[in-house]
Chains A and B, each alone.
Chain A
Amino acid sequence: MNAAMMQLKFLIEDIRGSLPQFLFGLVQIVVAMLLLCYIFQQATVFSDTMAKLRELSGGGEIYHIRMLAEDSQISAVLDDESRRGELGEFMAYVDSYPVRKFIVNDSVSIGFSQAHKPFDRIGDRDDESGMTFITPVFASPNFFEVFRVSGDFDSKRVREIFESCAAGDDAPAVLGADFRPYYKAGDIFEDDRGTRYRVAGFLDKGSFFVAPYESAKAHYLDGTFIAPIASLEPNFTTLISTCFVTDDTSALDEIVSRSKEMGLLPLGYDSFSYQAENSRRRMLNEIMTMATVMGLVFLFALIGMVTYFIRFIQSRLREFSVLMLCGAREGEIIGRIAMQISAILLVSIIAALAVFGLSASVLYTALVGGAYSACVLAYPVLVFKRTPIVRILRSNSR
Chain B
Amino acid sequence: MSEILLENVGKVYEGGGYRVVALAGVNFRVGDGEMVAITGPSGSGKTTLLNIIGLIDSPTSGTYRYGGRAISEYTPAELAKLRNKAFGFVLQDFALIERYNASQNIKVPLMYSDVPAKEWGGRIDNVLSMVGMSGMQKRLPSQLSGGQRQRVAIARALVNDARCILADEPTGSLDTKTGNEIMEIFSGIRDSGKSVVVVTHDAEVAAMCDRTVRICDGVLGKDVKYVDFCT
Contact = CB atoms under 8 A, between A and B. Distances in A.
Interface of A: 1, 6, 318-319, 321-330, 332, 388-390, 393-394, 396-397
Interface residues of B, number: 29
Interface of B: 47, 51, 54, 56-57, 76-77, 80-81, 83-85, 89, 91-93, 95-97, 108-113, 117, 156, 160, 168
B80 A393 contact: no
B117 A325 contact: no
A322 B76 contact: no
A328 B81 CA distance: 8
Given A329-B77, A397-B91, A322 B97 contact: yes
A326 B94 CA distance: 12
Contact of B111 (A6, A321, A325): A6
A326 B91 contact: no
A201 B149 CA distance: 83
Contact of A327 (B83, B95, B117): B83
Nearest to A394: B47
Nearest to A6: B111
Contacts of B96: 322
B95 A389 contact: no
A389 B85 CA distance: 18
Contacts of B77: 329
Contacts of B51: 390, 393-394
B48 to A, nearest CB: 9
B170 to A, nearest CB: 13
A394 B97 CA distance: 15
A325 B97 contact: no
Given A326-B108, A327-B112, A396-B95, 18 more contacts: A1-B110, A323-B108, A324-B56, A325-B54, A325-B83, A326-B109, A326-B112, A326-B156, A327-B80, A327-B81, A327-B83, A327-B84, A327-B160, A328-B112, A390-B57, A394-B51, A397-B91, A397-B93
Contacts of A6: 111
A322 B111 contact: no
Contacts of B109: 326-327
21 contacts: A1-B110, A322-B97, A322-B108, A323-B108, A324-B56, A324-B80, A325-B56, A325-B89, A326-B111, A326-B112, A326-B156, A327-B81, A327-B84, A327-B85, A328-B80, A330-B76, A332-B112, A388-B57, A390-B51, A393-B95, A397-B92
Contacts of A393: 51, 56, 91, 95
Contacts of B47: 394
Contacts of B95: 318, 321-322, 325, 393, 396-397
Identify the interface centre among A327, A330, A390, A397: most chain B CB within 10 Å of its CB. A327
Given A1-B111, A327-B112, A319 B76 contact: no
Identify the interface centre among A323, A329, A388: most chain B CB within 10 Å of its CB. A329
Contacts of B117: 1
Contacts of A388: 57
Contacts of B156: 326
Nearest to A13: B99
A336 to B, nearest CB: 12
A295 to B, nearest CB: 38
A6 B112 CA distance: 9
Contact of B113 (A322, A327, A397): A327
